[in-house]
Amino acid sequence: MLLKILVGFLTGLRALAAGTDTTQQRLPPPPPLLLVSFDGFRADYLLRFPMPNLKLLYSQGVLVEQLKNVFITKTFPNHYTLVTGLYAESHGILSSHMYDPVSHKLFSPMKDTDPTWWSKAEPLWLTARKSGYKTATTMWPGSDVINRTATHFLPYNPDVTFRERLGNVTKWMQGDGNEQGVMFAVLYWEEPDRSGHIFGPENTTAMGKALKEVDDNIGLLMLELKRANLWGRINIIVTSDHGMAQCSTERIIRLDDCLHPDNYTVVDLSPVAAIIPRKDPKAIYALLSKCHAHMTAYLKKDIPDRLHYKNNKRIQQILLIADEGWTILQRGSTITKLGDHGYDNSLSSMHPFLAATGPSFRQGYRISSLQSVDIYPLMCHLLSIPPQPNNGTLTQARCLLAAETCGDTMLVIGLVVGAQIALITIIVLFRLLRRRSMPTPRAFQRLEVDDDDDSPLMG
């Protein structure tokens, strides 16, 4: 009887757990999705500065306090990660400056529209477009690449104001009588990155002013979406690519003090230097490995696996990584930035945040951290689009969604596992007790009789 009860209990729990997976099949068509990036928004700015509009936004939705981005923690790699779900070594956009040893081409922010650089991955605006959706991009890194654009796009122009960029996005998302609105749009803004580089993140006065402007723009975003009757009807994700570290003229690493510049070529300089040796790579590495206590040198094959920054032909033979806040320079150059990024992605100063709101998200919910590669599968899920191969997972990101009973599901799984363990334990104990209660067969003994049994029978 006890076994029947336990089996029935387990069957019910399994049905409850399975029910959470079938719920999505009954959902209506997905709402449109808007992804907004404010470049260089360090996660702890939310704690250090008043951000009333941003806090209002995520109070009606969700907050990821720290988004662990990918190495190198720079603008181009991380913006491409957000829309592909891939590490830099996989999508091929390794930094803001690159050299391709096969094509012998150089990449820079001013020479970024050649599709050769971007062809290793498909951004979400292309995948969504292939799925039949209209898409839009506004200044997003990689969005104006030849033959790889969204339905609507604005090529990068720093002179275009946030209001103008937002105006285009809302117009495209609204659509009109003749054209359906876009289902997926991305919007990029340069601040607070620009101010962070100039003043450094520890300059409270300057950064306070920059972040007030950012928060005002978030307020404008909310207002314009309400005016366009999009607020509450679309899903909105507000995030960033990286944080910012404070630099100083007292924290300088000069390569030429360790190695004559005739011995190497620099592709990207600071805070991660990509080095092409002109002579024996091992000899060059030996000198650079002893160059400075606040800089670590790696041969390509020895770059730590945790950085996911090794398996790509565009990664040069030697990589130099400066410690947080240190700047790598060559002879004759001086420090021009009091704030910088690109450092090890394990540093909290390099992490941005993520906030989201809309009909698909929970309200008043927050988690401490999430991997940036997980945002892409989350967005594909929101749009009901099959994702391209990626390095992310929905395991933790799905907890942000209103339709997911993330905590309850984990409880159900725990109950199922616990009940199974209890059932196995009871069965084992039952069998042991049953064995003990059974009579034990006596060992064979020779029958003993009295001596007079051998007497002759009496007639």
- Which residues carry out catalysis? 75
Give the C-alpha separation, 392 to 371, whole Å.
Answer: 8
Instruction: Using alpha carbons, list the distances in angstroms from residue 81 to 121, 198, 280, 295, 361.
Output: 10, 26, 34, 26, 22
Residue 296 DSSP symbol: E
Report the residue count for the chain.
459
Give the C-alpha separation, 100 to 80, whole Å.
Answer: 18
Q: Can you read off the two tokens belonging to residue 436?
A: 């003990």
Give the C-alpha separation, 438 to 421, whole Å.
Answer: 26
Contact 161, 10 (CB under 8 A): no
Count helices and strands (H / E) in the chain.
13, 18
Give the C-alpha separation, 120 to 125, whole Å.
Answer: 15
Give the C-alpha separation, 221 to 288, whole Å.
Answer: 48
Give the C-alpha separation, 459 to 455, whole Å.
Answer: 12
Give the C-alpha separation, 337 to 351, whole Å.
Answer: 19
* Strand partners for 340: 245
Give the C-alpha separation, 64 to 59, whole Å.
Answer: 12
Sign for the pseudo-dihedral over CA of 316, 322, 325, 328:
negative
SS3 203: coil
- Residue that the structure tokens 């820079």 belong to: 108
- Name the pairing type of β-strands 135-138 and 318-322: unpaired
Q: Can you read off the two tokens belonging to residue 40?
A: 């260089």
Phi/psi for 362 (5° steps) reads -65, 170
Element (H, E) at 35: strand 33-38
- Name the pairing type of β-strands 135-138 and 184-189: parallel
Element (H, E) at 225: helix 204-227
Sign for the pseudo-dihedral over CA of 105, 110, 114, 119:
positive
Which residue type occupies 357? T
* Strand partners for 64: 354, 367
Report the phi/psi class of residue 342: left, alpha or beta, with left for phi > 0 and alpha for psi in -120 to 50: left
